[in-house]
Amino acid sequence: MDKIRIYGGTPLNGEIEISGAKNAALKVMTAALLTDQPLVLHRIPDLRDVASLSEILTQLGVKLSYDAGKKTMRLHSAAIASCVAPYDLVRKMRASILVLGPLVARHGEAKVSLPGGCAIGTRPVDMHIDGLRQLGVEIELVDGYINARAPRGLTGAHIHFPKVSVGATENIMMAATLAKGTTTLVNAAREPEIVDLGECLIKMGAEITGLGTDTIIIHGKAFLRGTEHAVIADRIEAGTFAIAGAMTGGTLRLKHCNIEHIDYLLDPLHKAGVDLVSDGDTVTVKRISKQLRGVDIMTEPYPGFPTDLQAQMMSMLTISEGAGMVTETIFENRFMHVPELARMGADITIHGSSALVRGVSKLRGADVMATDLRASVSLVLAGLVAEGATTVHRIYHLERGYENIVSKLSSVGAKLERMKEEAA
C-alpha cells in the first residue's frame, strides 16, 4: 500500500481544476441499469470508487467503456446478465446499494449484498428496503443479502422518509421512474447530486418534479431511453481545496466550481477570516486576516454544512485562534481523525457528538493513519501546514474519492510525494 509524505509550510497559489463529482457520477452510472439503450456520461472522475462500481455493473451485464483522458464513460445495459451484486464487490463501497432499485425495477429481481464502505458508524439501509417495499417489492434478508422480487412490476406510492437520506432518496427515485403510477417522496434529500441524477433521468424520459426540494414527485414510465449527460463539479473536492487555501494562506482559484453548491462554506470561512469570490465558474479563495479565527459548525443535510467537509474544517480549526465547536449530526463515529490530528499536536476534546477544538500555534509533522475518505484528506491538509514532514499511511481511502490529489496540490506549490510503503 502507498503513503503520502507532505512537507508543510508552503502557501498554495494558483489554479486547481475541480473534477466531476464522485457522488453524482456513481448515481448516474447506476441509472444505466434502467434502460436497454446506451448512456454516455461526461466528467466521470478517474477514481477507485468509480472502478469498483464499474466492476459491479459489468458483472450485471452492462457493457462499459471508460476513457480516463476524456473522462467519458459509455454504459450499455442491453440485457441484464445477472441480478446478483456479490459481497466481494459491494463491500468495497456503500454506494453499491444503489444498483438495488434500478435492478429490481427493470428486471423484477435483484440480490444485493448488504454494503460496506467507510467505517463511519452503523449506516443501515432500512429506508432503502422500506421504500422499495412500499413500491410493492418483496424483500427478504438472507445470509447477508437483500433478496428483492417484484414479478408484477412496481407500483407508485406515497413514501415519507423518517430521516433525510441521500442514498434512499436516490434509490427509490430511480426505482419509481419505472413504477406504474405516481410516487411521492416526502422528506427527500435535496443534495445537488440528487438534482443532477434527476436531470439525467428526465433526459432519459422520466417525469420528475420537485428536485432540490423535500418533496419529489415521479410519474412512472413503461421504459426509459439512453441519453448523454455531464455530471456536476465535486463540491466536496472544491470545499476541501478551499479549506486548504484558507489554511496555507495563499490565493487559490478553483476552476469549474459552482459557488451556489458550496454556499454553506461562505459564512464559516468568512468568520474565520477567509473570502470566497466567484467569477463565472471560478471561485477564488483568499485569506483576508493574518490569523485564522475559530468558528462553530454543525453538520446537517444539504443545504446545511456537509458531514463530508467536517474533518477538513476541523483540521483548519486546529490552527485557528481561539476555539471552535464541531458538532456531527449525520453519522455517529465520525471523529476518527481526532486521535491522528492529536498526534500532530492538535488540542481537541470530544463530548458525545461534539468536538471542542482549541487552536494551537502550530502543528508538528508525524506519522498518521488514514481511516476513511474524508478523515484521510483532513490529515493531508494538516500536513500542508505542519512543521516538518507528515506521512499519511494507508492512502487507499483517499484514492476512493480524490482524483490526482498529489499532482493537483503539487501544481499549486504544495511539497508532497507519493511513496511505496516499503520504501520507508
Q: How far is the CB of 312 from ligand UD1 (least distance, A)?
A: 13
- Residue 264 as a binder of ligand UD1 (CB under 6 A): the answer is no
- Residue 29 as a binder of ligand UD1 (CB under 6 A): the answer is no
- Residue 128 as a binder of ligand UD1 (CB under 6 A): the answer is yes
45/25 Cα distance (integer angstroms): 8
CB 131 within 8 A of CB 168: yes
Beta-carbon count within 10 A of 103 CB: 27
| 118 Ramachandran zone, left/alpha/beta (phi>0; psi -120 to 50) | beta
- Residue 163 as a binder of ligand UD1 (CB under 6 A): the answer is yes
- Residue 167 as a binder of ligand UD1 (CB under 6 A): the answer is yes
Nearer to ligand UD1, 75 or 127 (CB): 127
Q: Please, which residues have CB within 8 angstroms of residue 323's CB and are 6 or more apart in sequence?
A: 294, 317, 356, 357, 358, 359
- Which range touches ligand UD1 (CB under 6 A), out of 100-108, 166-174, 266-274, 378-386? 166-174
- Residue 198 as a binder of ligand UD1 (CB under 6 A): the answer is no
- Residue 331 as a binder of ligand UD1 (CB under 6 A): the answer is yes
Q: Please, which residues have CB within 8 angstroms of residue 298's CB and are 6 or more apart in sequence?
A: 304, 305, 326, 327, 329
Residue 257 annotated to the active site: no
Instruction: At 384, list the grid cell.
Output: 500542508
Within residues 66-105, the interface with ligand UD1 by CB under 6 A covers: 94-95
- Which range touches ligand UD1 (CB under 6 A), out of 119-127, 219-227, 273-281, 285-293? 119-127
Q: Please, which residues have CB within 8 angstroms of residue 129's CB and are 6 or more apart in sequence?
A: 139, 141, 146
- For ligand UD1, the binding residue among 103, 105, 135, 166 (CB under 6 A) is 166
- Residue 168 as a binder of ligand UD1 (CB under 6 A): the answer is yes
- Residue 165 as a binder of ligand UD1 (CB under 6 A): the answer is yes
Within residues 368-397, the interface with ligand UD1 by CB under 6 A covers: none
Widest CA span in the chain: 65
Q: Please, which residues have CB within 8 angstroms of residue 221's CB and are 6 or more apart in sequence?
A: 177, 178, 205, 206, 207
Which stretches of the chain bind ligand UD1, using CB under 6 A?
Answer: 23, 26, 94-95, 121, 123-128, 163, 165-168, 306-308, 330-331
Annotated catalytic residues are: 118
